[in-house]
Amino acid sequence: MHFTLHATDGAARAGTFTTPHGEVPTPAFMPVGTQATVKGLTPEMVRAAGAHIILGNTYHLALRPGDEIVRDFGGLHKFMHWDGPILTDSGGFQVFSLAGQVKITDHGAKFKSHIDGSPLELTPERAVEIQQNLGSDIAMVLDECPPATSESAKMRAAVLRTIRWAERCKKHHSRPGQAQFAIVQGGLNLDLRAECARELVAMDFPGYALGGFSVGEAPEAMHAALPACAACLPEHKPRYLMGVGRPQDLLAGVASGIDMFDCVMPTRNGRNALAFTSDGPIRLRNAKHRRDPAPVASDCACYCCENYSRGYLHHLFAADEMLGPTLLSLHNIAFYLRLMADARHAITEGRFAAFRAGCLARWNADS
């Protein structure tokens, strides 16, 4: 993993990081492919939309089909026919959000599979082994992400465990080509975040993530915390804000010095007929689009906007046709990817603040 900064504009940065499967220009949006597929899209469509790196998920893939099976197919790149960089999460977050009867100790997390209820255990060592079997280019350490509402004693305990687990992950890691990123926790407590970051930065990971956001806290509270949290992380290493977010959240993150983002919003909303446009989101199931010959977005060059009308998309969703979710997921990730490309361009020209203000005004968004 090598990260080069090309330009900065305030705290915003434009850079490039390299992996064994290729380069990633930053700021970067990473389409989510939790179960070894970006839902409804072929890798060629995802690439054509402008994606350089996609996400997979340890928890889901270890449960189904199983990390040994993915390994025996030659790893995630071969299994899902994606030859670009892949980042995998460690699964800790999904254990808390999906699994049943979770028991967490310093040793690890014991839980019941959300698929068949079978008893499973996720330890820092197991999370490392699963991701080595998946063969991702970036592997996240196992962390504990407590609910945003946790009181400070619980938040502090989760931070201390997260630090100890990061150390165990680093010790257990044995794939030089795979970069391991550490994850900072601490909720909205900036002192706790700084203490957690200090301990993890001392362990010298190749990249760092801010976890514990987009877990139910008010967006304004997250925006207010980002500048200080990002500033705790090394300037010369990639900074990844996990699970974020709406378009305005990505611009707030870029303004705070964040380089990488992932969010299910563009694909999940695409499957639900909501399209992002430069003038704000539109709902294609709305009858007003029934005879609308215009593309989803007039300033978009994606396959959906080049070839289809809003009226056709309206029809596909009204008829519950599979092509509807595919086309709008494609358009929405193209929107997010272009937003990051435009932000990168604005940073290199020293006009990011004006670019962000222009977007927020057009979207009628507050911050």
Residues that constitute the known binding site: 89-93, 143, 185, 212, 300, 302, 305, 331
Residue nearest to ligand 1UD (CB): 243
> CA 306, CA 261: separation in Å to the nearest integer?
26
**Using the rule CB under 6 A, which residue among 34, 180, 326, 332 binds ligand 1UD?**
34
Name the minimum Å distance from CB 148 to ligand 1UD: 10
Q: Is 284 in the site for Zn ion (CB under 5 A)?
A: no
Nearer to ligand 1UD among residue 260 and residue 297 (C-beta): 260
Distance CA 120, CA 131 (A): 16
Residue 93 interacting entry, from Zn ion, ligand 1UD, none, C-beta within 5 to 8 Å by type = ligand 1UD
**Of 99-107, 140-148, 228-236, 321-329, which segment contacts ligand 1UD by CB under 6 A?**
140-148
Among 98, 148, 264, 323, binds ligand 1UD (CB under 6 A): 264
Site string for ligand 1UD, 234-253 (x = CB under 6 A): --------xx----------
Site for Zn ion in 204-233 (CB under 5 A): none
Considering only residues 139 to 178 of the shown chain, the ones binding Zn ion according to CB under 5 A are none
Residues 239 and 182: their CA atoms lie apart, in Å, by 10
Asked if 89 is an active-site residue, the reply is: yes
Report the partner that residue 92 touches, choosing among Zn ion, ligand 1UD, none (CB closer than 5 to 8 A by kind).
Answer: ligand 1UD
Q: Supply the minimum distance, in Å, between the C-beta of residue 93 and ligand 1UD.
A: 3
Q: How far is the CB of 49 from Zn ion (least distance, A)?
A: 9
Look up 342 and say whether it is catalytic.
no
Provide the mask over 320-339, with x wherever binding to Zn ion is found by CB under 5 A and - wherever it is not. -----------x--------
Catalytic residues: 89, 262
Residues in contact with Zn ion by the rule CB under 5 A: 300, 302, 304-305, 331
Residues in contact with ligand 1UD by the rule CB under 6 A: 32, 34, 55, 57, 89-90, 92-93, 140, 143, 145, 183, 211-215, 242-243, 262, 264
